[in-house]
Amino acid sequence: MQGKRQFCNSLTRTISRAATAALAIATVFALTVVLTQSAQAQTLKVLHNFTGGGDGFYPWAGLTMDQAGNFYGTTSAGGRGDGVVFRLSQRGSGWVFNPLYTFAGGNDGANPFARVVFGPDGSLYGTTSYGGGDGCGGSGCGTVFQLKPYPTACKTALYGWQETVLYRFTGGSDGATPELGDLIFDQAGNIYGTTALGGYQGGSCSNYGGCGVVFELTPSNGGWTEKVLYSFTGGSDGAIPLAGLIFDNVGNLYGTTIYGGNLDCFAPYGCGTVFQLTPSGSGWTANVLYTFQGGNDGQSPYAGLVFNQAGDLYGTTVTGGQGGGGTAFELTSSKGMGLWTFTLIYGLSAGDGDGPVGTLVVDAPGNLYGTTAADGLFQWGSVFKLAPSNGGWTYTSLHDFTGGSDGGGPFGNVTFDANGNLYGTAENGGSSQNCSGGCGVVWEITP
């Protein structure tokens, strides 16, 4: 299927550049948790069809909503060729699309695969996976950027925003190629994120061009200074953190790596880890909370983590588990003991690498919502809900994409509005014929 090919080609751009193996596991495992799939009862509506022109194409990441109900997102390509940051605003019964910024490559940055998020100052912040110079084989090692409106009054609906590049990665010890992860902020306004590559380049990390880093950007003399909080070694600590980070209420950071951990699993790369970084004096201490084994528990957590109200962690793997379609899992803390218990809550039945890429979202009752990259009835991905039920979890498919006018390949996370409607993007599909497999869509699901 074109959607599955597009998923594999896009998601592994960084990894293939580093000469690593493709994710393909053909083993089927028995699932010990019995869950129920319910019938679809939701309606999907396409809010915007990307055309491949000035509006961009291939929207990889999910959406961010402001207090007025406007949505902000990115396309990984298009505009001037290297991606677009856009706003989608409701006007009556329709939606108005406004490109806020289009990337030109070079020092400017190129190919934003992650979401843009609002910082404490109300500006948008994000990353580009490439650009920012001519390092990393000439494609650039990626950037961190800020977008804000120009100080003068806007005179047209298409008036753009101004970009400031806060940091350009060099591909050395500072990291390279920030991929799928959202940026986050602490109370002082410092920025935290991950790069998939760069950092430590000894041992197995030399195969990747570095195993990735966790970084902090701090305002300094009108600019920003980068500090590497942790550099992955490719061993038991993990390798290649594609997703972003989250804070707990005492300032610890949590994230995932797609490789490393148990190197006998998917030898010699490893099946990935869940990690914690704890402030320790002037530095940070890494703790591995869980090491994936590639069985029922799954393999390669591409997505990040999310807390529920009780402080439990939820995440997903993109492959492994029953049928190879990835898993959803829970990590529960033994309060005050520093121990975490892994629980498999669902195994997806699909092909290898077709599972969740976007980070899960938790609503107030504790239901989980997410997307799959290329499974579902038509193998173009799906939007799903996992609901706690009688000590287990009930799975509901909210929409199975067809790869046609409704879109295909929903790789990003979902976003709720105040009325409980779900919003997101699909990288392929839609009505435009200007892109191979379609240019992608922004969609809404209403109960």
List, for residues 317-339, the tens digit of each pLDDT value: 999 998 789 999 999 998 766 78
Higher pLDDT, 10 or 162: 162
Tens digit of each residue's pLDDT (9 = 90 or more) over 149-173 = 988 655 444 458 999 999 999 999 9
Check if the beta carbon of residue 430 is closer than 8 Å to that of residue 441. yes
Bridge partners of residue 328, in order along the sequence: 316, 346
pLDDT for residue 136? 95
Among the ranges given (64-68, 260-264, 281-285), the one the predictor scored with the smallest mean pLDDT: 281-285
Question: What is the band of 299 on the pLDDT scale with cuts at 50, 70, 90?
Answer: very high
Please tell me the least confidently modeled range out of 11-25, 212-226, 232-246, 261-275: 11-25
User: Taking the chain, what is the end-to-end CA distance rounded to the nearest angstrom?
Assistant: 29
Taking residues 27-50, what's their average pLDDT? 55
| DSSP assignment string, 2-61 | HHHHHHHHHHTHHHHHTTPPP----------S---EEPP--EEEEEEE--SSTT-B---S
Judged against a pLDDT cut of 90, whether residue 69 lies above it is answered with yes
State mean pLDDT over 403-424.
96
Q: What is the model's pLDDT at position 19?
A: 30
Adjacent-strand bridge partners of 315: 329
Separation in Å, CA 317 to CA 167, 259, 330, 352: 30, 11, 11, 11
Please name every residue paired with 330 in a beta bridge, in sequence order, or none if there are none.
Answer: 314, 343
Residue 85 has pLDDT above 70, yes or no: yes
Q: How far apart, in whole angstroms, are the C-alpha atoms of residue 350 and residue 341?
A: 26
Residue 13 binned pLDDT confidence (cut-offs 50, 70, 90): very low
**pLDDT at residue 154 in the model:** 55
| Whole-number Cα distances in Å, 413 to 92, 131, 143, 325, 327 | 26, 25, 22, 17, 16
Alpha carbon distances (Å) from 299 to 54, 160, 257, 263: 38, 41, 10, 12
- Its pTM stands at 0.90
Of residues 287 and 81, more confidence is placed in 287
Delineate the domains of the chain, giving CATH numbers in brackets.
52-371+387-393 (2.130.10)
CA–CA gap between residue 378 and residue 395 (Å, rounded): 18
- Choose between 18 and 64: higher pLDDT: 64
Q: Provide the pLDDT confidence category of residue 27 given band limits of 50, 70 and 90.
A: very low
- Condensed to tens digits (0 to 9), the pLDDT of residues 225-268 reads 999 999 999 999 999 999 999 999 999 999 999 999 999 999 99
pLDDT value of position 317:
97
- Residue range 116-146, pLDDT digits in tens: 999 999 999 999 999 999 999 999 999 999 9
CA dihedral 219, 195, 184, 411 (to 10 degrees): 150
What percent of the chain shows pLDDT beyond 70? Answer: 88
Helix/strand/coil for 205:
helix
Task: Report the alpha-carbon distance of residue 277 to residue 98 in Å, rounded.
Answer: 38
Q: What is the pLDDT of residue 329?
A: 98
In 80-221, where does DSSP find H-type helix?
none
